[in-house]
Amino acid sequence: MTCASLESAMLRWVHAPNKGMRRIAILMFNDCSLQGAGVVAEVFQAANELASSGSGGWLYDVSFLSADGGMVTSSSALRVWTDGLDARHYGGFDALYVAGGKGAFAAAGDERLIAWLRRVRRNTGMIRPIAEGRTLLDAAYVPENKESGDFRQQQVAVRQPEQGQSQSQGADAGDRLESMRSALAMIKRDLGSATARTVAERLLADSCSNLAPLLGEDGGLSPGDKVRAAARWLQENCQQSISIADAAQFAAMSERNFLRRFKMEMGITPSSFLLHERLAVTCSLLTESELPVDKIARRTGMGNGDRLAKVFRKRMRISPTEFRIQSRRLVGE
């Protein structure tokens, strides 16, 4: 096998996903609240982790901004490092969140912030105020409940405080969930309902039993969403002793329906997809570790060294040992 063909094989099996990038900004100021701003950052971070382990999709570049840049002290005394506002941002963002908190009223009098907001809003897909952050947007360009350009003023639905909560605690919880809802809506559009649901479940854990309202769902996932979730499950568990029947059960489908739907959605059979992921991990371990081939086979769900060698020769037209030698030669060049 030539170096060129080996390199082509490596690119095929150990590929870096070709993803787009969405720009998300969170505008902050001294005495801002971290309740809503923090959860927005957490939502997109979780989505990044899921997308980076998959075979495609968007990634989110989240930046914290303030008028002067540097450290911003929140209303809870926690300090956050921010970037300053400059002309680089005039190209706009896919989404801009404006933090809330008592500091918003002072920030609404900062002419630099107001001028910057007026400039970037023209090229920004969505601008979302978090609670008192609406004050800055009102000062910048629109009165309450009126539209202008791409921005539509949206009321924040504040939940009634639960038993034992103060009114302010209930408001903070409402702001947190409202901020999460808008971020999840973008993730759902970019990466699908299954990923949005996984993000919500990861962040909320057992604190919210009904995620449907938060996700804007009608109560269930589509067959395509179930298949994509199962594909992600196969990918994340490919090194374990799992079967296609297990994946069908994960997707809550009959095995026959799952096989048909998977081929329709993914373009390959579940077995081929699983083998692809196992070989990708195998190639990585052969290149980057000193583990014996037999141990790599067991670690990647390929059974034993003999079976791995047989599959490897069929798919890669080279033995695992030869692949290890030549791939390291390529890396060293």
Instruction: Render 47-75 in DSSP notation, one character per residue.
Output: HHHHHHTSSS-EEEEEEEEESS-EEEE-T
Q: Would you give per-residue pLDDT tens digits along the chain (333 residues)?
A: 444 444 444 443 333 333 468 899 999 999 998 888 888 999 999 898 887 765 456 789 999 999 999 999 998 888 899 999 887 887 888 889 999 999 999 999 998 899 899 888 878 888 888 888 888 888 886 333 333 333 333 333 333 434 444 444 444 555 567 778 888 888 888 887 788 888 888 877 544 445 555 555 544 567 888 888 888 888 878 888 888 888 888 888 889 999 999 988 888 899 999 998 888 888 888 888 888 999 998 888 888 889 888 988 888 888 888 888 887 777 555
163 sits in the region (left: phi over 0; alpha: psi -120 to 50; else beta) called beta
List of E strands, 34-150: 58-66, 70-73, 79-84, 95-98, 126-129, 147-148
Q: What is the predicted pLDDT for the residue at 159?
A: 37
- The CA distance from 39 to 255, in Å, is 38
Q: What is the predicted pLDDT for the residue at 103?
A: 94
- Whole-structure pTM value: 0.53
The structure tokens listed for 7 are 């390199």
Say how many C-beta atoms besides its own lie within 10 A of residue 254's C-beta. Answer: 11
The structure tokens listed for 55 are 């075979």
Domains along the chain with CATH numbers: 20-215 (3.40.50.880), 221-333 (1.10.10.60)
Distance of CA 284 to the CA centre of its chain: 24
What lies within 8 Å, CB to CB, of 85 at 6+ separation is 65, 66, 67, 69, 112, 113, 116
Q: What is the predicted pLDDT for the residue at 54?
A: 57
- The CA distance from 284 to 299, in Å, is 12
**Contact by Cβ (8 Å): 20, 202:** no
